[in-house]
Amino acid sequence: MSTATKTWPAPAKLNLFLHITDRREDGYHLLQTVFQFLDFCDQLRFSLRDDERIVLETDCAGIPPQENLVVRAALLLQSRLEQRRGVSIWIDKRLPMGGGLGGGSSDAATTLVALNRLWQTGLSTDELAELGLTLGADVPIFVHGHAAWAEGVGEQI
C-alpha cells in the first residue's frame, strides 16, 4: 500500500429555505432551496493502493460495500481512468444516517473530489458534479463545496 494518506472532511448541509415547486414523473421533487454547509462532518481518509482495488473500512453496519455511495463514487471515477488506480478509504461516520444532513451525498462528493486530486484525473468541478448527479440529487452541491441557491432536484446551482 502507498504511504500517501490524506484526510478530507465531508460536511453536513442544512437547507435554510426549501420550496417544492413541482414533482417529476420519476418521483423527484422540483425545488428551490438555499444550502449552507456546517462544520459538523464525517471524516474520510484516503490511502492510494498499488493495485486497482477499492477497499472501504467503516463501522457503519447494514450497507453492503457495493451499495455504499463512497464505493460507488470511487468506482464511477475509476471507470474514467485509462490506467486504473486503487484506494483504501476509511470513514469516521459522525453524521447520522437518514438524518437529513446529506451525509451519504457529502461522503460521495468528497470521494469524487479527493480521488480526482489524488488520482490526478483532471476533471473540472462541473464534470465531477455531473458524475455526482448520477449518484444522488444532493451530490453536486457538495462537489461545488459552498453555500448556494439551488433549483431543479438540487443540481441547478
Q: How far apart are CA 84 and CA 68, in angstroms?
A: 20
Q: How far apart are CA 65 and CA 1, in angstroms?
A: 20
Provide the H-helix boundaries in 10-68: none
What would the grid cell of residue 62 be? 447494514
26: annotated active-site residue: no
- Is 43 exposed, middle or buried, given 0-12, 13-18 or 19+ CB atoms closer than 10 A? middle
- Is 64 exposed, middle or buried, given 0-12, 13-18 or 19+ CB atoms closer than 10 A? exposed
6: annotated active-site residue: no
Residues involved in catalysis: 13, 138
